Amino acid sequence: MSHYIRHCRFAPQFKELEALHEKHKDRGLVLIGFASKDFHQEAKNGDEAAQICYINHGIKFTILAPSSVKGRDANPVFKELARQTSAPSWNFNKYLVNPQGKVVEHFGSLTSPDSKQLTNAIDERLSQTNTP
């Protein structure tokens, strides 16, 4: 069992995130995971992140190599997310971003990927995007 699984109670969300990806990818949902360097328990490099995500959890959506996601050293994507909403306080924050790059909703770690709140928000946004 990996170090990450033993220490992060949110790791089961990988399965739920993959289910969202599979359900909505053909409707235009693009799911990108950012491995983080900020919470003292995550993968230390890209190979370890790949093992945790792709091998241990079977996800197929894109996971980027570990980088900072909060503070001065945050990667540019998370600097912009924080500017528009707030920086993540822990792993597994979810940001819904429209095609123009505007954050339309932000959900914290405690919001499960299969929660009604998140799934309804995704359905609503995809319906708006896919309307002729």
Q: Give 5-56 pLDDT, tens digit per residue.
A: 344 678 889 999 999 999 999 999 999 988 888 876 556 666 666 666 766 7
- Predicted confidence at residue 22, as pLDDT, reads 96
CATH number of the domain that residue 75 is part of: 3.40.30.10
What is the rounded distance in angstroms from the CA atom of residue 46 to the CA atom of residue 34?
11
Cβ neighbour number for residue 94 with a 10 Å cutoff? 21
Catalytic entry in 4, 8, 11, 61: 8
- Predicted confidence at residue 55, as pLDDT, reads 67
| pLDDT, tens digit, 9 for 90 and up, residues 81-112 | 999 999 999 889 999 999 999 999 999 999 99
- Tally of domains within the chain: 1
Identify any residues that bridge with 96 across adjacent strands, giving them in sequence order: 105
Cβ neighbour number for residue 84 with a 10 Å cutoff? 14
| pLDDT, tens digit, 9 for 90 and up, residues 56-65 | 778 889 888 8
Domain that holds residue 20: 3-129
Concerning whether 8 is annotated as a catalytic residue, the answer is yes
What is the rounded distance in angstroms from the CA atom of residue 121 to the CA atom of residue 7?
29
Give the helix ranges, DSSP H, for the chain.
Answer: 3-7, 13-24, 46-50, 76-84, 116-129
